[in-house]
Amino acid sequence: MNVEPPQPWITVEALGRNVLDGVREHDTVRGDLAILPVFRDERPLQGLAAYLDWRAAGLLSAMLRRGVCSGAAGEAVLMPAKRTLPIRRLVLLGLGNSGVFDETKAAALGMRVAEVARGLQAEDVLFALPGRVAERSVPEVVLAELVAAAAEDVPRRRFWVLADARQVSRLRRLLESRS
């Protein structure tokens, strides 16, 4: 028996290498856009950015080394994705230094992700929550703000939110409580 998720336009899943395989239980991930938060002081890249960098033969790391992007707060870099990736476009969003990333900045990130997806008219969005944060509540704040900011885009846009496996259950409960 299939049970519909409370908000079918947004799904929370555990971040893993299998996300890049293009095969999942319910759908095929061939997304339009991947939004990757990047901290200025996080090298090598972590999470989804690291997986995508690996699949793209180090392209993202090379961009960081060349100074095309740095991870500075407010920075946004749009680029086409390589054919080896399960998405068409990438956006690197700079978050500044990880040590000062708090709930206020997390709320701004959730809103920014919705704005970027809307501005680029993306239909399917793969978004990785920042993983290296001190406050446990930060991923919840990002998700709550994303849900609030992107709700007006339903049903034009679908989000796959990727999180650390230890956070997934808590974030799914958050989604259920908001429906």
Domain ranges within the chain, ordered by starting residue:
10-178
Residues 41, 94: contact at Cβ < 8 Å? no
Rg (CA), the chain: 15
- The rounded Cα 141 to chain-centroid distance in angstroms is 14
Topology (CATH level 3) of domain 10-178? Leucine Aminopeptidase, subunit E; domain 1 (3.40.220)
Count of beta carbons in the 10 Å neighbourhood of residue 133: 22
**pLDDT in the model for residue 51:** 86
**pLDDT in the model for residue 93:** 95
pLDDT digits (tens, 9 = 90+) for 18-29: 766 653 444 444
Encoded amino acid at 11, one letter: T
- DSSP secondary structure letters along 64-107: HHHTS----TT-EEEEEPPTTSSEEEEEEEE---GGG--HHHHH
> Phi and psi dihedrals of 122, rounded to 5?
-80, 140
- Percent of the chain at pLDDT > 90 equals 51
Q: pLDDT below 70 — which residues of the chain?
A: 1-7, 19-30, 132-134, 179
The candidate with the shortest Cα–Cα distance to 123, out of 155, 147, 170, is 155
> Phi and psi dihedrals of 25, rounded to 5?
-55, -50
**pLDDT in the model for residue 26:** 46
Distance CA 31, CA 7 (A): 18
